[in-house]
């Protein structure tokens, strides 16, 4: 493996490793968390970590059972690779086929610091972009791992059948994404996620056919089994028969994706949810920075009450599209009748260095400000224009259509409008959760034996994820991290038997799961789960959305408690427990959202600074940009939830951050 | 607008089915047929009934989960468009919309509109993959693939695995799906090295579950991924090639 040294190395910058003061009511101060990073310089940390990881000899591997929940890029990669290495692997997904995992929907691309071109990309630059893009709220050491393994990810996915876009001469084609000034995004038309996901699912299928992976499709994980503080299995529910069943293992990997759907309307698939992660949290796994949510600037605006989601338009469109609003509020002329000088290309005006390619948080906030300021366009005045007119004039319709053809097609399907003749309308939509289960450098959560991979975790992206970095992180976790770190954990457990199915830890967790479904079915109220979910989404968009205030968050917490109270009293679920019951599945997910939502608001309230996507209006610079407070908040907050009654108690643990390769600086995309 | 919605209800694989009919008022032309079903279900549930079971997930035409038949056509009246993108503007105000499950031998009905499409996964498991262990792949830039080859592979790789092609085929043939996978993988240098064994494994498996192709061409008409009809010719081409190459 090629190992590049960073340009400069300095001692970690002095950041006081204090627990930030002044926890709020209902919040207890916890302990300082250790990320278990290898000591020494960060740029060589991953190599040192791997050199020191313990191994399991090939003959002993089949004695270890590992459950991987989720078959997205992270889960399929982890399960296929662990199985190929010889472990006894069980893979669980609620989909009917592994290929349908939500990774399939990613459009734009996957980053890799292959640095083949002479645009001066490098591992170091990748790390700088990622850490800075995340507004210094992620671990630098992990950004190095991401960068180093990225080359292998592309090689592997190419070999197993993902047809990447190519240049005429046959080398890989790349494009630029928001927040970077080099071209390191690899792609396949607007279907990058699909091509990677199908290739990954095929790898998993190969292991299933070879008998090395036991595959449970249409099974939902409903709880985690913990024995003596160690993750020992999961409880799954068969979605067609309702049967509950314990699956036991020496280690469990959760690769269950993000929880952006908590906002009701998001760019995620309808079934994406927080439940696996939240259930693990309730069994003791810390949840890190749950309020760090990315709102995608190029989602389609809401046009009707029954619209079930916000469709995403790939960020790659910002390479050629120009974003603007009319210069005068309330201008109702059709876009093509508004002359050049009466348009405000506000990103180009405010951020000349990055223009339309500013990172997502900045672009979303700017759009929200334009819309809130009365400059919004469209029937509901809730969107801004993304215009290809100039690009078509410059490069020709054919070139633009070959770049974005299927996205234009999708836009046309969704809206009936043709983006080559009149501009698209876009608006910020909940998209990606940087927050997730806290894990150390080995991806192990605060429950030994429970690992997390992909978007379900919190790693890499800090307070704002760079476009095309998350397909990469899911792949790096699955193929090139979990296969090193899980064996490192298992090596010490040789000879340890699986938990006895009659062990109280199993029977009690099973009993909890039965009781929970009985309780939900027994409420017998009048409103289906969707109603509560929709209400919650509205509360979160306004209280814990693109921008936040102390007052708004406090209000949101009250509103969430109110919805929760009504949910417990007035939920209606039609149909019985023992066969397909999609309303029951939905209700379980909404119940978990109603708890997580409160923690999100508490987390956002607690962090008294603005950073990345977490924009607290009270903390802004003279120019109106996000204002970090590194002396107090250069840290990861990881939460523990105590017993849950009407007013839950949360304990806040802190992992201090320091930066050695990327000096702390104010993010400036001007 | 107002629509009369007839929906197929069936309790289980062996149960007898029937249509339930309901008028749904106040829907908008921009809604999708799946949003129509959401709306329909809301009314069923709040008036004490059990909701219609149907599958969907991404709702943006890429996961392949939404498989229903609308007015006799898999996915719906607009050609080559998945159910989640079929808008109500295809129907006149006051029209009747009939929604049924995919009907095909290899897809047993689970309940209402939900069918079991596991047969599609099984053929993939049999051979639709490449034997490369993580970390052992060569440099992807050194694996030269011309622009045209990559584009051709992508045209076939676009399949979303919805299974509509099988439901549209009078014979229940999966040749569009199979041909797309074979064509995609045999266009790319590394996957192509297993071309013969892949074709044998996948086609042997498929022969057990799906019908033969007699070139009706219905499949390509409904395919939401625009897989060209020429894909079906790859099935015979690869079969022949694998046979000649021997094992
Ligand atoms: C519309 C869209 C476009 C995107 N575009 C890009 C892009 O261009 N580039 C980029 O880098 N990133 C992009 N992202 C983000 C990226 O796609 C995701 O972060 C990434 O794919 C997540 O992968 P994953 O493996 O962690 O989870 P997923 O792919 O979401 O997989 C989750 C899996 O867990 C399973 N699961 C979940 N809960 C349970 C449970 N309780 N029981 C059983 N199974 C369960 C699901 O069945 C599924 O198999 C995009 C995201 C969206 C929504
Ligand atoms: S070939 Fe087309 S219709 Fe058939 S499964 Fe693939 S996408 Fe669906
Ligand atoms: S719901 Fe995913 S393709 Fe229609």
Q: What is the pLDDT of residues A282-294, one digit of tens each?
A: 999 999 999 999 9
Work out the pLDDT band at A305, boundaries 50, 70, 90. Answer: confident
A511-530 pLDDT, tens digit each: 999 999 999 999 999 999 99
Is the pLDDT at A12 greater than 60? The verdict is no
Average pLDDT score over chain A: 93
A445-504 pLDDT, tens digit each: 999 999 999 999 999 999 999 989 999 999 999 999 999 999 999 999 999 999 999 999
Identify the residue whose C-alpha is closest to ligand 2 atom 1: B177
Q: Do the interacting molecules here have an ipTM over 0.85?
A: yes
**Residue of B115, B134, B148, B177 to mutate, interface with A, max A Cβ within 10 Å:** B134
Tell me if B57 and A269 make a contact (CB, 8 A cut-off). Answer: yes
CA distance B55 to chain A (A): 9
CA distance A35 to chain B (A): 26
Exposure b/e, A251-262, CB count within 10 A at least 16 = b: bbbbbbbbbbbb
Strand A384-387 and strand A424-433: the pairing is antiparallel
Identify the residue whose C-alpha is closest to ligand 1 atom 37: A256
In A, minimum Cα distance to B225 occurs at: A406
Is the pLDDT at A360 greater than 90? The verdict is no
Residue B13, token pair as written in the block:
């694989």
Mean pLDDT of the B54-66 span:
96
The Cβ-side half-sphere exposure at B19, using a 13 Å CA radius, reads 12
Tell me if A104 and B62 make a contact (CB, 8 A cut-off). Answer: yes
Distance B219 CA to ligand 2 centre (A): 8
Q: What are the φ and ψ backbone dihedral angles of A661, each rounded to 5 degrees? A: -90, -30
In B, minimum Cα distance to A95 occurs at: B65
Amino acid A16: pLDDT: 45
Ligand 3 neighbours, Cβ below 6 Å, are B 56-59, 61-66, 82-84, 160
User: Helix, strand or coil for residue A431?
Assistant: strand
CA distance A74 to chain B (A): 13
Nearest to A167 among B134, B147, B161 (CB): B147
Q: Measured between alpha carbons, how far is residue B187 from residues A200, A394, B124, B151, B177 in Å?
A: 18, 34, 17, 10, 16
A638-665 pLDDT, tens digit each: 999 988 877 788 999 999 999 999 999 9
A541-600 pLDDT, tens digit each: 999 999 999 999 999 999 999 999 999 999 999 999 999 999 999 999 999 999 999 999
In B, minimum Cα distance to A96 occurs at: B118
Identify the residue whose C-alpha is closest to ligand 1 atom 15: A470
Cβ atoms A479, A162 nearer than 8 A = no
Residue B111: strand pairing partners: B114
pTM, to two decimals: 0.95
Of A154-168, A230-244, A602-616, B232-246, the range with the lowest mean pLDDT is B232-246
Residue A351, token pair as written in the block:
């951020």
Amino acid A19: pLDDT: 60
Amino acid A414: pLDDT: 78
Amino acid A416: pLDDT: 79
Work out the pLDDT band at A9, boundaries 50, 70, 90. Answer: very low
Q: Provide DSSP, chain B.
A: --EEEEEEE-SSTTSPPEEEEEEE-S--TTSBHHHHHHHHHHHHHHTT-PPPP---SSSSSSS----EEETTEES-SSTT--GGG-BGGGS-TT-EEEEEE---TTS-EEETTEE--HHHHHHHHHHSS----TT-PPPTTTS---HHHHHHHHHHHT-----HHHHH-TT-B-HHHHHHHHHHHHHSHHHHTTHHHHHHHHHHHHHHHSB------HHHHH-TT---TTHHHHHHHHHHHHHHH--
Q: Measured between alpha carbons, how far is residue B46 from residues A524, A527, A571, A610, B50 in Å?
A: 12, 7, 11, 43, 9
Ligand lying nearest the CA atom of residue A73: 1
A301 pocket-lining for ligand 1 (C-beta < 6 Å): no
Ligand 2 neighbours, Cβ below 6 Å, are B 159-165, 176-177, 180, 223-225, 227
Average pLDDT score over chain B: 95
Distance B178 CA to ligand 2 centre (A): 9
Nearest to B157 among A156, A163, A170 (CB): A163
CA distance B59 to chain A (A): 7
Rounded (5°) CA angle A94-A98-A104: 105
CA distance B243 to chain A (A): 23
CB < 8 Å to B187, chain A:
163
Rounded (5°) CA angle B72-B76-B78: 125
CA-nearest of B162, B198, B158, B202 to B180 is: B158
CA distance A413 to chain B (A): 6
Q: Count the residues in chain A.
A: 670
CB < 8 Å to B137, chain A:
152, 155-156, 158-160
A212 pocket-lining for ligand 1 (C-beta < 6 Å): no
Ligand lying nearest the CA atom of residue B226: 2
The Cβ-side half-sphere exposure at A649, using a 13 Å CA radius, reads 6
**Residues above pLDDT 90, as percent of chain A:** 83
Amino acid A5: pLDDT: 35
CA distance B234 to B203: 11
Tell me if A414 and B85 make a contact (CB, 8 A cut-off). Answer: yes
Work out the pLDDT band at A24, boundaries 50, 70, 90. Answer: confident
| Nearest atom (ligand 3) to Cα of B62 | 3
CB pairs under 8 A between A and B: 222
Work out the pLDDT band at B83, boundaries 50, 70, 90. Answer: very high
Amino acid A8: pLDDT: 38
Is the pLDDT at A338 greater than 70? The verdict is yes
- Sign, CA dihedral A447-A448-A451-A455, equals positive
Of A55-64, A240-249, A400-409, B9-18, the range with the lowest mean pLDDT is A400-409
Ligand 3 pocket: which of B66, B81, B120, B158 to mutate (most atoms within 8 A of CB): B66
Q: Which residue has the tokens 């046979």?
A: B243
Torsion, CA B231, CA B236, CA B240, CA B241, rounded to 10: 10
Work out the pLDDT band at A11, boundaries 50, 70, 90. Answer: very low
Strand A230-238 and strand A244-248: the pairing is antiparallel
Nearest-10 crossing angle of helices A550-570, A582-606: 160
Q: Which residue has the tokens 């190095």?
A: A144
In A, minimum Cα distance to B146 occurs at: A170
Work out the pLDDT band at A23, boundaries 50, 70, 90. Answer: low
Amino acid A6: pLDDT: 36
Tell me if B60 and A311 make a contact (CB, 8 A cut-off). Answer: yes
Mean pLDDT of the A400-420 span:
85
CB < 8 Å to B124, chain A:
99, 201-202, 205
CB < 8 Å to A170, chain B:
144-147
Mean pLDDT of the B130-149 span:
96
């Amino acid at each position: 493996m090629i190992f590049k040294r960073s340009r400069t190395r300095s001692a970690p910058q002095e950041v006081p490793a204090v627990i930030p003061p002044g926890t709020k009511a209902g919040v207890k101060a916890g302990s300082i968390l250790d990320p278990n990073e290898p000591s020494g310089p960060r740029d060589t940390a991953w190599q040192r970590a791997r050199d020191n990881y313990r191994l399991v000899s090939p003959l002993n591997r089949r004695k270890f059972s590992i459950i991987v929940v989720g078959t997205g890029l992270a889960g399929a990669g982890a399960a296929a690779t662990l199985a190929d290495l010889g472990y006894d692997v069980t893979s669980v997904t609620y989909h009917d086929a592994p290929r349908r995992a939500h990774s399939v929907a990613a459009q734009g691309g996957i980053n890799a610091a292959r640095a083949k071109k002479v645009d001066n990309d490098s591992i170091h630059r990748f790390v700088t972009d990622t850490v800075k893009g995340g507004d210094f709220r992620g671990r630098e050491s992990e950004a190095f791992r991401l960068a180093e393994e990225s080359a292998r990810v592309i090689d592997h996915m190419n070999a197993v059948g993902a047809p990447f876009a190519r240049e005429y001469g046959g080398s890989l084609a790349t494009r630029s994404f928001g927040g970077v000034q080099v071209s390191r995004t690899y792609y396949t038309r607007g279907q990058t996620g699909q091509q990677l996901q199908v290739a990954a699912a095929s790898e998993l299928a190969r292991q299933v056919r070879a008998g090395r992976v036991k595959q449970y499709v249409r099974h939902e994980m409903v709880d985690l089994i913990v024995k003596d503080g160690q993750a020992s299995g999961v409880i799954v529910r068969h979605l067609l028969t309702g049967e509950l069943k314990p699956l036991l293992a020496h280690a469990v990997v959760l690769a269950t994706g993000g929880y952006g759907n908590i906002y009701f309307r998001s760019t995620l698939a309808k079934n994406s949810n927080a439940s696996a992660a939240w259930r693990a949290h309730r069994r003791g796994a810390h949840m890190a920075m749950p309020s760090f949510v990315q709102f995608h600037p190029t989602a389609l605006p809401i046009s009707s009450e029954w619209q079930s989601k916000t469709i995403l338009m790939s960020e790659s469109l910002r390479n050629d599209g120009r974003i603007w609003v009319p210069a005068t509020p309330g201008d109702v002329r059709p876009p093509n009748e508004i002359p050049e000088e009466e348009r405000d290309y506000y990103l180009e005006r405010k951020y000349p260095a990055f223009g339309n390619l500013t990172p997502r948080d900045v672009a979303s906030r700017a759009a929200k400000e334009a819309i809130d300021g009365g400059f919004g366009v469209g029937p509901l005045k809730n969107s801004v224009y993304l215009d290809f007119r100039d690009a078509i004039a410059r490069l020709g319709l054919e070139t633009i259509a070959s770049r974005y053809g299927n996205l234009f097609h999708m836009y046309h399907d969704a809206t009936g409008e043709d983006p080559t003749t009149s501009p698209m309308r876009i608006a910020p939509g909940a998209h990606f959760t940087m927050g997730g289960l806290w894990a150390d450098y080995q991806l192990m959560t605060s429950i030994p034996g429970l690992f997390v991979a992909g978007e379900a975790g919190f790693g890499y992206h800090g307070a704002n994820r760079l476009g095309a970095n998350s397909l990469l992180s899911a792949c790096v976790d699955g193929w090139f991290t979990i296969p090193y770190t899980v064996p490192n954990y298992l090596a010490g457990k040789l000879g340890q038997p699986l938990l006895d199915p009659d062990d109280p830890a199993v029977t009690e967790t099973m009993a909890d799961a039965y009781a929970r479904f009985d309780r939900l079915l027994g409420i017998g109220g009048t409103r289906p789960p969707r109603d509560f979910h929709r209400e919650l989404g509205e509360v979160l968009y306004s209280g814990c959305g693109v921008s936040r205030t102390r007052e708004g968050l406090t209000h949101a917490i009250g509103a969430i408690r109110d919805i929760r109270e009504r949910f417990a009293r007035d939920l209606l679920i039609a149909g019985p427990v023992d066969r397909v019951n999609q309303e029951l599945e939905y209700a379980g997910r909404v119940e978990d959202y109603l708890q997580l939502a409160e923690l999100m608001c508490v987390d956002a309230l607690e962090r008294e600074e603005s950073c990345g996507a977490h924009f607290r209006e009270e903390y802004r610079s003279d120019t109106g940009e996000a204002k970090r407070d590194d002396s107090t908040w250069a840290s990861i907050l990881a939460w523990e939830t105590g017993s849950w009654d009407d007013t839950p108690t949360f304990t806040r643990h802190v992992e201090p951050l320091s930066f050695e390769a990327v000096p702390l600086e104010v993010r400036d995309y001007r | 607008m107002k629509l009369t919605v007839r929906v197929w209800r069936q309790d289980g694989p062996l149960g007898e089915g029937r249509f339930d009919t309901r008028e749904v008022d106040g829907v908008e032309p921009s809604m999708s047929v799946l949003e129509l079903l959401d709306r329909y279900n809301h009314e069923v549930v709040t008036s004490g009934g059990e909701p219609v079971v149907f599958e969907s997930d991404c709702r943006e035409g890429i996961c392949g989960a939404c498989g229903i038949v609308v007015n006799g056509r898999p996915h719906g009246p607009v050609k080559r468009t998945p159910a989640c993108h079929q808008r109500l503007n295809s129907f006149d105000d006051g029209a009747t919309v009939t929604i049924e499950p995919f009907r095909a031998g290899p897809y047993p009905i689970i309940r209402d509109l939900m069918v079991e499409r596991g047969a599609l996964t099984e053929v993939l498991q049999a051979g639709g993959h490449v034997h490369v262990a993580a970390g052992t792949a060569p440099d992807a830039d050194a694996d030269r693939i011309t622009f045209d080859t990559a584009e051709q592979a992508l045209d076939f790789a676009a399949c979303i695995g919805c299974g509509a092609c099988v439901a549209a085929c009078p014979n229940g043939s999966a040749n569009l799906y199979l041909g797309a996978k074979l064509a995609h993988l045999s266009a790319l240098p590394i996957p192509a090295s297993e071309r013969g064994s892949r074709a044998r494994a996948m086609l042997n498996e498929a022969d057990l579950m799906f019908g033969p192709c007699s070139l009706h061409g219905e499949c390509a008409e409904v395919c939401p991924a625009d897989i060209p009809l020429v894909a079906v010719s790859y099935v015979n081409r690869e079969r022949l090639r694998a046979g000649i190459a021997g094992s």
